[in-house]
Amino acid sequence: MIQKLANRIRKKFFQGQFKDEIEEAKFEYGLLLFIETLLDILGFIVIGLLLGCLDHLAVYLLTFAVVRLNAGGYHAKTFIGCFATITVMALTSVGILTYYNGPLFVYLTLGVLSGGMIMIMAPLDSISKPLSERQKRRCKVKTLYFTTGIMALSFVLYVLGYLDGFKMMTLALMGQMLSMIPIFYKYKKGEKYYENVI
């Protein structure tokens, strides 16, 4: 459905403005990603407002997205599958934050272990974003920087007493790590994860 929308927009507003079919296909793919991202953001704003947890969802999604851009992870085959997966992960984290009042060392330990596992497993490429060896090295370095930065920022929030922000960032790191494990396991077995994805 979103693919058809991107195709219609390209045809209606940008027909004949490309030098070749490859450039046209790249534009349409970029338009598709833009529409999907816009729908993601609008969907999360609506869910956050309805459930009264927009601030928690925002912290979770920003943390998750910053690491995800370079680390990689599970990609659903459809937009709805992607949106549903990240929504379930984010709302589960909000539920944990709301109903689990466990000791802070659990979150500290979880954050360190999740961040460490992400740094070990990253980067993971996908069918929509295959990486050359050079790109993998760059993504690895960026993942190390961003993950370390997020871990440091979450610790600063912890020290300053912003415990909800600290916990949501930790849970987002855990969500990212969990999205990487099945793919990393398939890589270790020599398989390409996107051939037989969940």
pLDDT tens digit sequence for 102-155: 899 999 999 999 999 999 999 887 666 677 889 889 999 999 999 999 999 999
Gap between the terminal Cα atoms of the chain: 22
- Rounded Cα gap, residues 75 and 180, in angstroms: 10
Q: pTM (2 decimals)? A: 0.81
- Mean pLDDT value across the chain: 85
